[in-house]
Structure formats: C-alpha cells, structure tokens
Structure 1
Amino acid sequence: MKKIVIIGANSFQNPLILKAKEMGFETHVFAWQDGSVGEQTADFFYPVSIVEREVILEHCREIKPDAITSIGSDLAMLTVNYIAEKLGLPGNSMACTLVSTNKYEMRKAFEKACVPVPHFREADLDTSAEEFLGFSLPVIVKPTDRSGSRGITKLENWEAFAEAVKLSVENSFEKKAIVEEYLEGEEYSCECISYKGSHYFLALTKKYTTGHPHFIETGHLEPAGCTLEQMEVIKKEVFRALDALGVENGASHTEFMLDGNNQVRIIEIGARMGGDCIGSDLVPLSTGYDYVRMVIDVACGKKPEFVQAGKKGAACIRFVFTHQDLEHLKYLKKELPEHIHFISEMEPIQEGRVKDSSTRFGYYILTFESLEEAKEYLT
C-alpha cells in the first residue's frame, strides 16, 4: 500500500486525510495533539508539532512515504517542502517556500520580477513613524509571516503607528511587520494547481471582509463573477507572480485587488491551497474539479487530471461572528435546507471576541445552481 505523510490534523486538513484514504493511501498524520478530527481519521497519528521538522523527518525516514503534503497552512508548507527536499519527493524548493511564507521577502521577489507592488518596508518595535513619512496614507500594517487576518491594521494616520506595529509583531513568528500602501479595489483570490513549473487555473473567488481596520474574512464566493476579459488579465498576472516566487508544484492561492481599470495588483500568494474551505470545498462545488485529489497527485509526481467529477454551480461559505449570524443560519435551515452543504461545530457566541480568522465561532457552506442566487446570501 502506498503511504502519504500529511502535516496538520485540524478540520481544514481533514478532507485531505479522507481523500488520501479514499485513493488507497495509508495516511500518516503529524500534528500537535489537541483533539483535532484528524487524530481519529488518520491511519497513524503522531503527536508531534508541525514545526518539529527534524523529528518528523526521522519518522519519515522510517515510514518511507510516497508523498508528503498539506493544505491551507503556510506554516505546514515549511515542513512539507523541507522534508520533500530531504527525501527526494515532489514539492517546491526551500527558496520558493521561504519567499512564499514571508510577505516582505515576497514583495522583494515581486519587485525584482517587475510584478507591480505597492510601496512597502519592513518594521519592528524599534521602527518609528517618522521613517515612513514618504508613504501615502492609508497604509496596511501586518505580520511578515502569518495568515488568517492575524495582526492586520489599516492606518489612516500616523498617531496609531506604534500600536499597529506592536499588534503585527506580536502575531509574527519572526517578530517583524511589513508596512505597505493601501490598495483600492475589489478583493479576490485565484486558485491554481502547478505541475513541474506549468500553472493551471481552476477558479476565482470573491472575498468578503469586515473591512477597516482588521479585514477579517466574513465569507467567500465562487465563481467570482468576473468577465472573460478580466479573467484573462488575472490569469496572466497571477502566473507571472507564481513564476516570480519559483512555484513549480502543488496548489496556490493568490490574493489580489482588481481596480476599476481592470488592473491586477497582487497582494500575496500562498504556495498551498486556500484556507477557509476555499480549496477543499468551494472549488470542487463550483467547478466540479477534485482539487484535493489534484494536490495528492502532484505530491506523488503525477500530472493532475482535469476531469469534472462533480456538478458545476455556485458555492459560498459564511462565517459566524454574532448571534444575528446564527439567526440567519436558523432561517436557512428552516426555509432553504436544500442549499446547506455543511455546518461546522459552533462555539458559544461572545460578542466582540472575533479579532482574526482563528477566533470566529463557526461557519456554514451553501450551494446554488447560479451565481446570482448565491450572491443573495452573502450580501
């Protein structure tokens, strides 16, 4: 039996574990033991933190896996590609991994490849606002190496600069922040799969957030509703940005702004599947493509198959922030149960507690036959 190592065991990783088992793999899952669902669904679970790369590598030398992968986590990809490189398994280079998991290094790589970027600079707790007087307000301050809307602030004036940098640094693994000029436009993401340096477009996702100041995702929608002309421009710029980072294998999630002149401005790229169930659920539900299977195939050195295994349609995810959100879900369960694809476990609502994506109380996924019908439930 073929063996696959999966880094991470939470609910966003579980579809990967289940798909691998469905494909006939023996699953070996590594994660900090905290009661996550993957601890039970894995064939073999190892209570090892995903950052313990050398410990995991030693286990992998004994397991002798045919592939190693993960979905939806930048932190996990650092371990995935490190071990893949050591064992000679398909993946991305560590150089690619480092620039695709650090927003400052990513901006420098884009700038070097002439991919348009906003004015940016690195900062830490010793950096003063006076050093940024050449920047145009507003600016975005965020950690250099975190995802999930953690530690992000939009600054309209310099008086709150120190507080914003402190928040970002506290949420950063390397204790640094990036300050960049704010981009205007509609926010989207582009979901792709790459194989041996060739990139393949799968879907566009429309993002909904809380807006200023922390921009926490409230929901996502596929398809995004862009025109064919816009899609061609987007694909060209996204593929250029992927090349700039050296992405060669696996899933990618590119966040970007699209302005009124159809100009694409890349925000950041994760060389992994989009979190928030974008890759694991929304892509297959809206396109019919089995994205998770593609990720496993590429991790095994196999070209992904673009077969529509399911029905195309529209899909959206909504996150629960308030009691009002729960009331809306109750309405949907009563009046439109046929559109409910999945409801997560819900934590007790604590008004005002949500500070980033990790502190939302739950979510639910809806499916529809048309984009117009889906939009009605995200706005």
Structure 2
Amino acid sequence: MKKVLLIEAMGSAEDLLDAGRELGVQIVVATHREIYESYAPAVKEKVSGVVFTDFSDPERALKELAEYARAEGVEGVVGCWEFLTPVAARLAAELGLPGNDPERADGCRNKRVMAQLFEEHRVPAPRTVLAQDCDAAAAGLAASGFTYPVVVKPAEQAGSWGVSVIQGPDELPEAFAAAQAWEYESPHGFPLDTTVLIQEYVGGVEYSVESVVFEGRITPLTVVQKFTTDGVFRAEIGQTVPAALSEADTATLYGTTVAAIRALGITNGVAHTELKLLPEGGAKIIEVGARLPGDRVPELIRLARGVDEARAFVQVALGIEPELTPRTDRAAAIRFFVPPRAGRFRSIDGVVRSPQVHRIAVYPQPDDEVRGPGDNDGRVGYVMLTAATPQKVNRAADAAIANLTIELE
C-alpha cells in the first residue's frame, strides 16, 4: 500500500484523509503531539499513522521528517495547513518526490514574497507598499501615490485575520496594529514575518479559481464566486460553484491564474487563487495558496462538477496523473451564519429548508462564547445547497437565510 505524508491535518485535511481511503493509500500525519491530542475523533479515526515533530524549529522538523520518510518508504508529500506548505515543498524536494519549487515556496505563504514574485514575473496584482512600522507605512503611502481606500494586511496570516480596508490616514495606525498583532503562528509556534502590506484597493467582483497542477501542466477546475462582508474588516460569508460568468470572463480569470501559479513555482499539487475581475476588463491577483481551498469548497466542487480535488492532490503527490474531466454540470453553494457581535450563543432560527438544501450545520452549543464578525473564525454554522444552475442556487441560498436570526446573550 502506498504511503503519503500529510504535513498537519488541519484546514481541509478530512477531504485528503477521505481521498486516501478511497484510493487505498495510507495517509500518515506529521504534527505536534499535543496538537494531535486536540484532533476531533472523526479525524483521528481516518489517520493511518502519526509522526511527531516540532514545527517551531522548521529545519529540525525537515530533517526528522526526511529521515522518517526514507525509513518508512513514504512515496508522496502533501501540505494542508497553509503555514506549512513551504515545509511540504522542501521535504518533497529533499526526497525527490513530486512537489513545488522549494526556492519559491515561501511565496505561496508569505504575501511579501508573493508580491515581489508577482512584480518580477509581471503578474497583474495590486501595487504594494511594505513597512515594518506605522511611520514607514505612512511615508510609503505618501510616496506611492495611492488613493484611499487601501488594504492593510499582514505578510503571514490566514482566514482574513488582520486584514482591513481603510478610508483615510487617520485609520492607518489601528489597521497597522491589527495587521502586526501576531508574532508567532498558532498552534505550532514558529515566528511569523511581521511586515505589513499596504495595497491599492482593487475594485470589481472577487472570485477564486481552484486548480490542479501535474508536472507543470495547470488545469483550472472552476471559478468560485465569493461573498464577503463590507466595511473595515472583510470576511468570507459564502461561496458558489461555479460562478455565473461568460466564457470570456472565465477565460480572463483562468489566464491570470495560470500566470500567477507559474510565477510562484507551483508545479505539482493544487492552487487556491483569489482574484478580482475588473470593471474595465482584465483581472488582478489578490493571493494564491498552494493548498486545497477552505469553506468546504472541495465538497461544493464534487457536488457541482463531479471532480474530487483532494483525490487529485493525493494522486499528483504520488506521481499519478489525475482524471479531471467534469462528470456533472450543476451548481452548489454555501452560506455561513455570522453573528452580529461577540457573545454567548443561544440558538439559530429562521433557516428555510427547501429541496435545494443539502445540509445545515451549527457549530457552537448553547452557552458557548462566540466571536463577532471580522474574520472567518466568527462563523457559527452554514447552509449548503445544490441546484441546476448558479442563478438558481444563489436564489435558493438568499431565500434560505433571508429570515436568519442568531440569538446571543
């Protein structure tokens, strides 16, 4: 039985674990001992084995995992937890297994490096000012000629944490502090780049493109329509697969995505690309991750297109060319339940059940403390739907949550 090493079972790990089982592949997880103890029982049941290391010392972890992989006959490496995708790329290279360019792997995680690679390879992306302190940020903004609003974001975070859209210079100090609030990654504890990016605000509609890359050949699977909150903080509150777009707009997004993936050296694996379709034409890349998408998008793709991106990821890691031809032509959507403020959770009411509703999930128990809106960790549940077309599934999603109420104390 083939054996694949999964670098941390977080993020969309269950999709990969399920894919491994279906393919008859052992998925061994590399993690910290105390983090493994916190895994949900459902995750532990799907793991074929565990190897413990300490990612707070990346070089030591790389050495230990390479020794383990050689001794145990590991034939593939996949990265799931976004912060550790560079470790996965370097480990695959060390072992001579399919993976991404280790020299550019940091660009798939660190937005400072990503912005530099995009500029070097002439990938259309927002212009960026880099700063280590607020005074330098203000000076850089003044020299850049950017007009407000601008986006302020950390070089190394995820889930929309620390990302702000500000309307004027008086909002910069608070936004800068929010972007620089994390010196260490959680839960593994390795240091983060505290550089802050200030980027020109890009208008237009935001989408993501999910792609599989095998031996340098890039196959975009679908365009996903993204729904986000407005205001200073931007969190994702919904996704629809596929987006209702013309063939020309889809081709524009695919072309821009391919250019970004090549610039970042993603040659074997998957890519989650966030970008905006511009009103004046063309598109600009917001960011790219060398990982599966979150927000249950892999499940939405399976429901809508009949393609299993996680399965393809495991196959690519083993050097097997995946079958990516769509088997269905439907649409699927998810809408997240986000409370209006932080507080003690009581209940969720008003979700309309219909034939289009595939699943409803609520995360907290009564009396659990929940976060307010502001980032993706503020969600308290979701409704997932399917329908014949994107337009129909979007209408069903709007109807399902039109009377949603979240009761808090």
Distance across 1 between alignment mates of 2:11 and 2:134: 38
Alignment of 1:213-362 (within 5 A): 213-278=232-297, 280-308=298-326, 311-322=328-339, 326-329=348-351, 331-332=352-353, 336=354, 339-341=357-359, 343=361, 345-346=363-364, 348=366, 353-362=372-381
Check the 8 A contact 1:104/1:121 in 2, yes or no: no
Closer/same/farther in 2, CA of residues 351 and 277 from structure 1, 3 Å limit: closer
Residue from 181, 195, 199 that aligns with 2:214:
195
Check the 8 A contact 2:334/2:385 in 1, yes or no: yes
Distance across 1 between alignment mates of 2:55 and 2:391: 41
Where 1:255 maps in the other structure, the secondary structure is strand
Closer/same/farther in 2, CA of residues 214 and 16 from structure 1, 3 Å limit: same
**Residue 347 of structure 1: how far off its partner (Å):** 5.0
Where 2:348 maps in the other structure, the secondary structure is helix
Q: What residue in structure 1 maps to residue 102 of structure 2? A: 94
Residue from 129, 135, 144 that aligns with 2:146:
135
Q: What residue in structure 2 maps to residue 66 of structure 1? A: 75
**Residue 200 of structure 1: how far off its partner (Å):** 0.8
Cα RMSD (Å) of the superposition? 2.3
Distance across 1 between alignment mates of 2:158 and 2:302: 23
Query: In structure 2, what residue type is equivalent to 1:35?
Result: Y
Q: What residue in structure 2 maps to residue 144 of structure 1? A: 155
Where 1:376 maps in the other structure, the secondary structure is helix
Check the 8 A contact 1:3/1:28 in 2, yes or no: yes
Once the two structures are overlaid, the 10-residue window that deviates more, 201-210 or 361-370, is 361-370
Distance across 2 between alignment mates of 1:232 and 1:90: 28
Distance across 2 between alignment mates of 1:132 and 1:282: 40
Distance across 2 between alignment mates of 1:168 and 1:56: 32
Distance across 1 between alignment mates of 2:115 and 2:140: 19
Distance across 2 between alignment mates of 1:304 and 1:21: 16
Question: Which ranges in structure 1 are unaligned for 5 or more consecutive residues?
Answer: none
Closer/same/farther in 2, CA of residues 57 and 261 from structure 1, 3 Å limit: same
- Between the aligned residues of both structures, percent identity stands at 26
Once the two structures are overlaid, the 10-residue window that deviates more, 103-112 or 40-49, is 40-49
Q: What TM-score does the superposition give when structure 2 sets the normalisation length?
A: 0.84
Q: What TM-score does the superposition give when structure 1 sets the normalisation length?
A: 0.91
Deviations 1:35-86 (A, max 9, x none): 3342232121345455553343343233221111134x32131221121111
Question: Which ranges in structure 2 are unaligned for 5 or more consecutive residues?
Answer: 184-191, 340-344, 399-409
Residue from 64, 81, 85 that aligns with 1:77:
85
Deviations 1:149-203 (A, max 9, x none): 0100111111121221111111362112111110101000111111111111100
Closer/same/farther in 2, CA of residues 79 and 238 from structure 1, 3 Å limit: same
Once the two structures are overlaid, the 10-residue window that deviates more, 313-322 or 212-221, is 313-322
Distance across 1 between alignment mates of 2:52 and 2:110: 27
Closer/same/farther in 2, CA of residues 352 and 341 from structure 1, 3 Å limit: closer
Where 1:95 maps in the other structure, the secondary structure is coil
Q: What residue in structure 2 maps to residue 107 of structure 1? A: 115
Point out 4+ residue stretches in structure 1 off by more than 6 angstroms: none
Where 1:326 maps in the other structure, the secondary structure is strand
**Residue 234 of structure 1: how far off its partner (Å):** 1.6
Query: In structure 1, what residue type is equivalent to 2:319?
Result: G
Check the 8 A contact 1:346/1:363 in 2, yes or no: no
Distance across 1 between alignment mates of 2:279 and 2:18: 42
Query: In structure 2, what residue type is equivalent to 1:320?
Result: F
Check the 8 A contact 1:125/1:162 in 2, yes or no: no
Closer/same/farther in 2, CA of residues 139 and 325 from structure 1, 3 Å limit: farther
For these two proteins, the number of residue pairs brought into alignment is: 372
